[in-house]
Amino acid sequence: MMGAQREQRLQDLIRFLRTIQKPNRPIDSVGVNEGLVASGLIDSLAIVQIVVYLEQTYGIDFAAGGFDPDRLATMASILDLIEETCR
């Protein structure tokens, strides 16, 4: 079961992903552990938009910490990254 804060972050993330997703792939059909690019929800260029979203929304500094695309592969891995960074 998800905590309230993680659930809220997931809802915020889903709202953001809706703004960048491909038009023919409903986000509701993508599980939190399913690859966002592999599922066809977004293309690899959208990863850059996710990075910008995380930097602006949560103050995550990818320049300082390095960039690991696997950390942005699924909604669950993005939430894990946010939680680790925002402790």
Closest by CA to 2, choosing from 79, 86, 71, is 79
Ordered by where they begin, the domains of the chain are 4-25+32-85 (1.10.1200)
Type of residue at 87:
R
Q: Which of 76, 78, 74 has the alpha carbon at shortest distance from 60? A: 78
The Cα 54–Cα 81 span in angstroms is: 10
pTM score, whole prediction: 0.91
**pLDDT one-digit tens code per residue, 41-60:** 999 889 999 999 999 999 99
Q: How confident is the model at residue 1 (pLDDT cuts 50, 70, 90)?
A: low
Cα atoms in the 13 Å half-sphere on the side-chain side of 82? 23
